[in-house]
Structure 1
């Protein structure tokens, strides 16, 4: 069986469409379609069901992908690394949210890249959960840290850690509210406070309001900036209230630059998952990085 046909098949299986697979492979869509038809003729069985939007693998297609994909990934790894036995350097491509990846994941993996490390070259990219999982499925990444658990058999996910979310503001806002305002009024006490967020939809504030107050925020964002570290900086200067992961604002809380406005009995949590393509943990450099992140995560929760 032609390995080029298998590579195209696995790419289509991961991408979910001929169009996306063609873009990933640098081929035209007719070329991808032709290769899949050739492989189907060789096997005598259909591998995909064509739909209005993309394709869905048949049972045979799923079975072939599960058997072939890990071996193809290993061959690609060999090809990218080269055959120089004197070089133990392996590249690891990691994807995840910018703040968590920068503040937690990369420092944890850095020890594997040092002079006394295990020959790991790190390459990181930032993006949303959907972007990270799509890139992982398409073979652009080796590991993905995401707040969404992937579905389907192509990707395997392990729970990495939970992060606690904290409602914070500069001290003068807490003084303006008074010590028992939230106990008496709940979310109504916060209606006049401006909000600092990462998106116009107020994802962190909305999640906190729903979990703690069983309500929706009644205000719009005063400052919208797509980085939680910038949200913290703006909040510390008095721009408004914000909801942030505790690990990210713990030092600012200790220094008194911001204060926690609320201490719910059950704080809101968000779960992170560590995802890989099924079968790729057989590759030693991916397995080492996966294990190191899990070890580090013991102290993150």
Structure 2
């Protein structure tokens, strides 16, 4: 069986469409379509169901991808690395949320290069959970840090760490809530405070309200900025309240730049996962980074 046909098949399977696979492979869409049809004729079975928006693998297609993809990835690693066993430089492609990558993952991976004596070239991409998982499936990334557990056999995810969420505001706004505010569970006094968030849907505030108050916030966003570090800066400047990961705002809390408005008995948590394509942990540079991140996460409280 032609390995080029298998490579095209795996790329289509990961990308979910002939058009996206063609762009990834540097081929025309008709060429990709022709190669898939050739492979289907050789196997005597359909590998994909054509739909209006992309393709869906058949059962045979899923089985072939699960068996072939890890071996093709390993062959590509050998091809890209060459035969010089003394070369220790590998490029690791990492994707995830910008704040977590910047504050947690990158410092850990830098420590890996320093202490292990191996040189890692890093390429980092930022995106939402859906975006980074789609990129991982399509082969754009080697590792993805995400708050969504991937489904299906092509991706494998390991819990990395839990993130505690804290409801915070500047002292000026906290003072308006009156005495006893850190342990107050009634949401009503908070509804008058302006909200700083990363999206109009208020994902962090809504998740916190559901977990702590068993309800939904009625306020709308006063400041919307798509980066939690910028949200923190706005809160420090007195723009309003926000829900932030504790790791991101711990220093500001210690300095008194901001105040925790509540102290719930069970704080809301969100789990991060470290995801890879199945079989790629056979590649040493991916396996080392994967293991190192898991070890580093044990100290992320």
Deviation at residue 173 of structure 1 after TM alignment: 1.1
| Equivalent in the alignment of 1:99 | 99
| Equivalent in the alignment of 2:5 | 5
Distance in 2 between the 1:23 and 1:50 partners?
18
SS of residue paired to 1:186: coil
| Equivalent in the alignment of 1:195 | 195
Distance in 1 between the 2:8 and 2:14 partners?
10
Deviation at residue 115 of structure 1 after TM alignment: 7.6
Distance in 2 between the 1:194 and 1:263 partners?
20
Deviation at residue 79 of structure 1 after TM alignment: 2.4
What does 1:68-217 align with in structure 2 at a 5 Å threshold?
Answer: 68-114=68-114, 117-180=117-180, 186-217=186-217
Deviation at residue 83 of structure 1 after TM alignment: 2.7
Question: How many residue pairs align between the two structures?
Answer: 301
| Equivalent in the alignment of 2:294 | 294
Deviation at residue 155 of structure 1 after TM alignment: 0.3
Distance in 2 between the 1:116 and 1:287 partners?
13
> Deviation string for 1:65-118 (max 9, x for gaps)?
112111111122222223333311111111000000110011111122238522
Distance in 1 between the 2:88 and 2:99 partners?
30
Q: Answer with 20-29 or 205-214: which moved more.
A: 20-29
Q: TM-score, with normalisation over the residues of structure 1? A: 0.96
SS of residue paired to 2:186: helix
Unaligned segments of structure 1, at least 5 residues? none
Deviation at residue 21 of structure 1 after TM alignment: 1.4
Unaligned segments of structure 2, at least 5 residues? none
Distance in 2 between the 1:181 and 1:169 partners?
12
Distance in 2 between the 1:24 and 1:238 partners?
46
Whether the 8 Å contact between 2:108 and 2:292 is mirrored in structure 1 is yes
Relative to 1, partners in 2 of residues 1:184 and 1:8: Cα closer, same or farther, differing over 3 Å?
A: closer
Whether the 8 Å contact between 1:148 and 1:272 is mirrored in structure 2 is yes
What is the aligned-residue RMSD (CA, Å)? 1.5
Distance in 2 between the 1:126 and 1:77 partners?
24
Structure 1 segments of 4+ aligned residues over 4 angstroms from their partners: 181-185
> Deviation string for 1:265-295 (max 9, x for gaps)?
1111001000000011111111111111111
Q: Answer with 10-19 or 237-246: which moved more.
A: 10-19
SS of residue paired to 2:165: strand
Whether the 8 Å contact between 1:113 and 1:121 is mirrored in structure 2 is no
Q: TM-score, with normalisation over the residues of structure 2? A: 0.96
Do structure 1's residue 65 and structure 2's residue 74 form an aligned pair?
A: no
